[in-house]
Amino acid sequence: MSNGIVYREITNFEEYTALEDIQQDSWNMPDRELVPKRLINATRKSGGVIIGAYDNNQIIGYVWGWVGNKEPYGTYIYSHHNAVRQAYQNRGIGYQLKLEQRKWAIDKGYEYINWTFDPLQSKNAYLNFHKLGAISNIYYVNYWGDMHDDLNVGMETDRFYCNWLLESQRTMNHLKGRCSKYTITDIEKGENITETKMKNDFLAINNLNLNLNSPKLFLEILPNFNAMLSNNKELAIDWRNQTRKAFEKYFSEGYAVTDFIVIRLEKQVKCYHLLEYREEI
């Protein structure tokens, strides 16, 4: 229990209708994009897990995953949804759901949980890389094809494939808040892949540096990509295309995203992916 929220596995099929409702509420998902409750139930019955967040016995969020198997990870849990009703967002519920999923996976003997997410979504990047300690060195272009929810319509659905080694030292360090800290001075003195400027009230990429070779590189993204999606789709597409070039280039050279840095200045918030050169992930 945390802040009155109770977390437990959802095993009663009668409760699964709430999962469809939460998809619509959390992501404004149209009916054609909903994952139906019967499919979710089928994955649970074949070894997957759905963990719910309950407020007064009402499901207000859930995390859902199933068993995957591929090299180099072996058998692991693929985590597909981590969704929280809008009225309950920004309270740490999504983070706690991932911790509950981690505990379940460890109890079942799994070493990894993997999932995908949009590299330009700063809140997800902060949760996945900084708070949880996941990493990524795999970039998929237009992974889901055309989607029709509010966040993805009209955009190619590029995704990171991220990997969470559940009991590694780096994961433990991130869970305990013992990861490296960076200031804006550190970043300005470092090697930056993206050089940015303001354009029509939005941050734009002015130049892309694709020939860097420092052990640590910084790649700036927007603090709120959704606002750009709603107000300047053309510029949002440019961000997608430019950052795609950068991630594909540096991942191919042995870099991985290992952290996400948020720096709050007096009048703005700056967000950066940290890329580190790693021979083995």
Residue intervals in the chain for CATH 3.40.630.30: 6-175
Task: For 225-248, write each residue's pLDDT tens digit.
Answer: 999 988 999 999 999 999 999 999
Task: For 45-87, write each residue's pLDDT tens digit.
Answer: 999 999 999 999 999 999 999 999 999 999 999 999 999 999 9
Which residues pair with residue 116 across a beta bridge? 161
Cα 280 from chain centroid (whole Å): 22
* Residue 33 · residue 149 · CB < 8 Å: yes
pLDDT value for 21: 96
d(CA 227, CA 202) in angstroms, rounded, equals 9
pLDDT value for 2: 61
pTM comes to 0.95
Peptide bond into 72 cis (omega under 30): yes
Residues 6+ positions from 33 with CB-CB distance below 8 Å: 23, 147, 148, 149
pLDDT value for 281: 47
pLDDT value for 30: 87
* Residue 258 · residue 250 · CB < 8 Å: no
Which residues pair with residue 59 across a beta bridge? 54
CA dihedral 65, 71, 72, 78 (to 10 degrees): -10
Fold of 6-175: Aminopeptidase (3.40.630)
One digit per residue, pLDDT tens: the chain, 281 residues?
Answer: 567 899 999 999 999 999 999 999 999 888 888 999 999 999 999 999 999 999 999 999 999 999 999 999 999 999 999 999 999 999 999 999 999 999 999 999 999 999 999 999 999 999 999 999 999 999 999 999 988 776 677 789 999 999 999 999 999 999 999 989 999 999 999 999 999 999 888 999 999 999 999 999 999 999 999 999 889 999 999 999 999 999 999 999 999 999 999 999 998 999 999 999 975 44
pLDDT value for 148: 77
